[in-house]
Every structure is written in C-alpha cells, then in structure tokens.
Chains A and B, each alone.
Chain A
Amino acid sequence: MGEWSFLGDFLEKVHKHSTVVGKVWLTVLFIFRMLVLGTAAESSWGDEQSDFMCDTQQPGCENVCYDKAFPISHVRFWVLQIIFVSTPSLVYMGHAMHTVRMEEKRKMKEAEMEAQENKNGGSTYYQQKCSVVEDTKLSGWDEAGGQIILRGSLLNTYVYSILIRTAMEVAFIVGQYVLYGIFLETLYICQRAPCPHPVNCYVSRPTEKNVFIVFMLAVAVLSLFLSLAELYHLGWKKAKERCSRSYKASPSTAPGRLESAPQAERAQMYTPPPDFNQCLSSPNGKFISPFSNKVASQQNTANFATERVHGQEDAAGEGPFIKSRYVESPEVASECAAPAFPENYFNEKRRFSKASRASSKARSDDLSV
C-alpha cells in the first residue's frame, strides 16, 4: 500500500474539495480497489506465469502460450484502470488549487488597494470593491468557510471530470470483457509457434482469480453507479439553481441582482453612510431590488402626493431617498455605483430637487442603488 502513497497523497487533497458522493467514491477507490489490489490480488496473481503449465516439452511453448492467454495481466490492467479513473479528479484538484491561489492573490490585491485608498480618499473605493466581489461569485470561494463552493467554471470542471471518469470506467469494464470475458477458464488451448500442435495449458489458481475478478468488476460497477449518482445530484442542483434564479429575476428589472447573503453583507459593509443602508437593506439583510416596475409606479404616485403636501419640509433623511427610490434609471443598472456622500451634500441636493419637484426623471446625481 506504500507504493500507492504517491497517488494516495494527491487524492487526499481531492477528498477535501469533493461533494459527499465524491467522498464516498474516493473511499470506495481507496479501500475496495487500491487496498484489495495491493494486498490480496497481487499475491493471488504472483505465480501466474511460473505455475502456468502446458502439456508439452517444447521449449518456449509455455512462454508463448502464456503471452497469448494473458496479453496484459489482470493486476496490471486494474492498476491502469485505477490510475486513469483517478486522473480526472487530479485535473479538478489542479483547477481548485488554481482557484485558491487566485483568491489569495485577490485578497492581497484587495489589501493593497485598501491601503492605497486610505491614502487617497475613497472615491473609487466602492466600485473596486464591488467589481472584486463580482469576481468572487464567479470563482466560487467562500471566505467565511474557507471552503471551495462548486460554482461557475469550477463546477463545470467538476462535472467534466466526473463525465470523463465515467467514460473511463465504462471503457475499462468493456475492455476487460473484450480481453478476458468475465470468468477465467481452467484450461486454455493454445496453438502458436513453436508449439508443434494445439496444446493444453492450465491456468494457476483459476477459482481464486475468478473471485477477485468478480469482486473488482462489482466495485467498478459500484464506482460507476456512484459517479452517475453524483452527476444526477449535481445536475438536479444546477437545474434547481437555474429555476430559482429565473424566478427571482422576473420581478426585478435591474440586472445582476441575485446576490447571495454573504455578498449582500459585504456590500452593506462597504456603504459608509448609515442612511444609505436604511434605504437599501431589507430587514433580513438580503439585497433585494427596490426598483421593480410595480413598486416604482406605486412609489411615483405616493411621492407626488408627498411632495405637494410637505413642500419645503426637511424630513430626517426621508425626502431625498423617496425621490431617488422611484427613479427607474439606466444608471441603476450598476449595483455598485453608490458613492459615499457626506451628510450635508444630501441637504443641498434636496433643495435642488425640490425646485424641480414635478419632474420624476432620473438625474445623474440621484442616488443609485
């Protein structure tokens, strides 16, 4: 089993970043294939050539008959099978490690930018943070958990690796059937030079070998089944995600609205003025869009009424926010274009907007969400 440690060490790392079914598959691989092969099967096939007896005195006839009967020994075939079946997981692990490295680089960049912005003063701070946050979503790295989340390109790699793994399993199972059939016969009749005539050759330990052949075949079929189950599980998850995404997207017109909770919290962290937070965040902390069509028209009517009634009144932070809320503007498309204005700036803007209170058109200096 020590000889398998080269592969074993690599697969341990894959184990960390797999789904539950993936972990079961790896365990099956380690215990039922590698361990059994290394300990039991090797010793069973140990004397396969020395005890391969042919009913002939012709020198060389046994050699050639053994070579014809077993072009590649079962054990070596299974070794190749295990290696080829594990290889796609290694490719996935390479991608995962790459993702981790990109994440670390991103964090370093973030820290650098933070340091830089603290010196310069944060005008572009928010935009940069948000663009970086967008990349996180695509990469599939959960900062809080330190775990890799299967998302985007990483999920695609994972799915492809499972597909290739499945194809390899099938290829090797079919290959084994083509080479040897399912069971090993005790007697093998051989006709090949220099054997003078068809010669009876007797295989060593056929029953024991058959037991192991059936066992390894069963484990291969089980691994195949686990791979298919994992594909189904991932496919179902992806379809579910897509359905929920399309459902969430329909009421909202602002694109790119589907942030997950950590991202929403992150976005909230980046908005210095507390008023802004009050406006945007819903009680449960989710970053939902206030700019739906239905809500907009309702707000419109309400705000016209409010404007007429209140006039010059300075509501404590409510005035300008109501005005900006109903604005269904193209600038709103960017979820991250929320600059950090100081408090008195709002007051000035309020006065300006009251002068043109009849208009509900978007103004470039309106707060966009």
Chain B
Amino acid sequence: MDWGTLQAVLGGVNKHSTSIGKIWLTVLFIFRIMILVVAAERVWGDEQQDFVCNTLQPGCRNVCYDHFFPISHIRLWALQLIFVSTPALLVAMHVAYTRHEKKRRFRNGEKIDIEELKNEKIHIRGPLWWTYTSSIFFRIVFEAVFMYVFYYMYDGYQMPRLVKCSDWPCPNTVDCFVSRPTEKTTFTIFMLAVSGICMMLNLAELCYLVIKICMKESRKTT
C-alpha cells in the first residue's frame, strides 16, 4: 500500500493545524502507518497459509479461515487510517477555496494585504473554525466506530490460539490453529492503545478550540 500519497496530502494540512493537530498527525504517521507498514503487515503476511486445521477434508480450511477472519486486521486498520485522515482533507479544501477567493478578489482590484496572501498561515476563524471542528468531530466518530467494529468482529482484542469450526464441508467440529496469535495480540493491543491516544488528542483539540472561541466571545462582550 502506498501511504506516500496520503503523507503528501496531509502534509499540507499540517500547516493550518493547531499544535495538538500537528502532534496528532505525527502520532498517526509514526505510530500507526509506519507500524502497520513495517511490522504488522509482516506479522499478518502468512495468516492464511499458516492457518492449520486438524482435518484432511479439502475446502474445510478455507471455509473455516473465512468464517473466523471475514476481514483481516490489516485491511481493517488501513480502512480505519483512511477514514480517520479523510476529514482533514475537508480542511485542506476549505483553505484552498479561501485562498482562491482571496486571489480572485485581488485580481478584481480589491485592496488585499499582499503579505498575508503570501504568508500561508491562515488562522482558524469563522467558517474555517466550523470546518475544522467538524473534521475533528468526524475523526473522533470514525475512531470510535472502528474500535467497536474490531471488538464486535473478533470478540474482543485477543487473538485466540485455537478456534473450533464446524462449517460445511467440515465433517465435524474441527480444531483450527491460528498463526502467531501472541504476536498478533501484541500488535492489536498496540494499535488499539495508539487509537485511544489519537482519540484523546482529538478530544483535547476539540475542547481547546471550543474554549478558545468562548473566551474570544466573552472578551468581545466585556
């Protein structure tokens, strides 16, 4: 999977984020995407090959693997990372639209501060504040949804060593053994912990933005 494209896109968003947003982005890239690519993909690499069932019945192993792993952890994490990064694209689009509007107004002869136009930092105010806050909100929602999906699909976060399978064409209840369960459990818990940290960071950022705007409003009224 080519995560470089995502890095290129999100790198642009980084400029217009708050400090917490920048920390979140760093955690995302180093502790999630990098771990996924460098370590987790190798661990899950042979998950079907080394899924062994105590039977000679052809097809039983395939069916049992499919029953217990409807979607592999790796693919689920990749989807989670993409969904969680997508709201940041909304912010990038809004910023691009704002800049485009400014350029248009400048061309039409309005007095625009050239320095500010050149200076790429755009403050999180007004409509951009709403876009940014809603992007953080959606991020939190997506994280929570995926964490629940993991829990629901795999009955908790621990990878079992032995699973018992009686799907057709298996003739009876068959013992199937998962490959590298301890290592998989370690990485599942690690990714879960980092998701939790990312969610905390997003919540903190949301609180920070809300408090900032409340303080501004109170200053205006006093």
Is B31's beta carbon under 8 Å from chain A? yes
CB-CB under 8 A for A194 and B175, given A4-B34, A90-B26: yes
Inter-subunit contact A67/B42 (CB<8 Å): no
- Closest Cβ of chain A to B210, distance in Å, is 22
- Give chain A interface residues in 77-136, CB to chain B under 8 Å: 79-80, 83, 87, 90, 94, 98
Is B98's beta carbon under 8 Å from chain A? no
Inter-subunit contact A80/B39 (CB<8 Å): yes
Chain B residue nearest to A60 (CB atoms) is B177
Inter-subunit contact B46/A7 (CB<8 Å): no
Chain B residue nearest to A87 (CB atoms) is B30
A79 to B54, CA, bound (A): 34
CB-CB under 8 A for A6 and B43, given A72-B182, A98-B19: no
- Give chain A interface residues in 345-368, CB to chain B under 8 Å: none
Is B120's beta carbon under 8 Å from chain A? no
A42 to B34, CA, bound (A): 15
Is A50's beta carbon under 8 Å from chain B? yes
Chain A residue nearest to B181 (CB atoms) is A67
CB-CB under 8 A for A59 and B54, given A64-B161, A72-B186: yes
Is B62's beta carbon under 8 Å from chain A? no
Inter-subunit contact B53/A7 (CB<8 Å): no
Chain A residue nearest to B54 (CB atoms) is A59
Chain B residue nearest to A78 (CB atoms) is B39
Interface band, chain B: 35 or more
Contact flags A33-48 to B (C-beta < 8 A → 1, else 0):
0000000001000000
Inter-subunit contact A50/B46 (CB<8 Å): yes
- Closest Cβ of chain B to A232, distance in Å, is 29
Chain B residue nearest to A82 (CB atoms) is B38
- Give chain B interface residues in 72-100, CB to chain A under 8 Å: none
A58 to B162, CA, bound (A): 14
Is A76's beta carbon under 8 Å from chain B? yes
Is B147's beta carbon under 8 Å from chain A? no
Is B167's beta carbon under 8 Å from chain A? no
Inter-subunit contact A7/B178 (CB<8 Å): no
Inter-subunit contact B179/A49 (CB<8 Å): yes
- Closest Cβ of chain A to B120, distance in Å, is 13
Is B16's beta carbon under 8 Å from chain A? no
Inter-subunit contact A60/B186 (CB<8 Å): no
Which chain A residues lie closer than 8 Å to B19 at the CB level? 98
Inter-subunit contact B30/A60 (CB<8 Å): no
Which chain B residues lie closer than 8 Å to A75 at the CB level? 39, 42
The listed residue (A6, A71, A194) touching B30 by CB distance below 8 A is A6
Which chain A residues lie closer than 8 Å to B50 at the CB level? 49-50, 63
A64 to B53, CA, bound (A): 12
A194 to B162, CA, bound (A): 9
Interface band, chain A: 20 to 34
A105 to B188, CA, bound (A): 42
A105 to B86, CA, bound (A): 31
- Closest Cβ of chain B to A341, distance in Å, is 37
A295 to B126, CA, bound (A): 62
- Closest Cβ of chain A to B36, distance in Å, is 10
The listed residue (B7, B26, B180) touching A49 by CB distance below 8 A is B180
Inter-subunit contact B177/A63 (CB<8 Å): yes
Inter-subunit contact B29/A6 (CB<8 Å): yes
Is A180's beta carbon under 8 Å from chain B? no
Is A156's beta carbon under 8 Å from chain B? no
Which chain A residues lie closer than 8 Å to B183 at the CB level? 67, 70-73, 76
A83 to B32, CA, bound (A): 11
The listed residue (A42, A59, A79, A98) touching B52 by CB distance below 8 A is A59
Contact flags B15-48 to A (C-beta < 8 A → 1, else 0):
0000100110010011101110111001100100
A75 to B34, CA, bound (A): 14
A87 to B46, CA, bound (A): 30
A64 to B186, CA, bound (A): 16
Is B140's beta carbon under 8 Å from chain A? no
Inter-subunit contact B23/A4 (CB<8 Å): no
- Closest Cβ of chain A to B13, distance in Å, is 16
Which chain B residues lie closer than 8 Å to A215 at the CB level? none
A4 to B29, CA, bound (A): 11
Is B198's beta carbon under 8 Å from chain A? no
Contact flags B39-72 to A (C-beta < 8 A → 1, else 0):
1001100100110111100000000000000000
- Closest Cβ of chain B to A334, distance in Å, is 32
Inter-subunit contact B31/A83 (CB<8 Å): yes
Is B176's beta carbon under 8 Å from chain A? yes
Is A169's beta carbon under 8 Å from chain B? no
Q: Which of B33, B39, B162, B181 has the most CB of A within 10 A?
A: B39
- 20 A-B pairs with CB atoms under 8 Å apart are A3-B37, A3-B38, A6-B29, A6-B30, A7-B34, A10-B26, A59-B53, A59-B55, A60-B53, A63-B50, A63-B161, A63-B177, A63-B179, A70-B183, A75-B42, A76-B43, A76-B183, A83-B34, A94-B26, A194-B162
Q: Which 5 pairs, one residue from A and one from B, show the smallest C-beta to C-beta distance?
A: A60-B177, A63-B177, A59-B54, A71-B182, A6-B34
By a beta-carbon cutoff of 8 Å, the part of chain A in contact with chain B is 3-7, 10, 42, 49-50, 58-60, 62-64, 66-67, 70-73, 75-76, 79-80, 83, 87, 90, 94, 98, 193-194
Q: A60-B53, A66-B180, A76-B42 are in contact. List 5 more A-B contacts (CB 8 A).
A: A59-B53, A63-B52, A76-B187, A79-B35, A80-B39
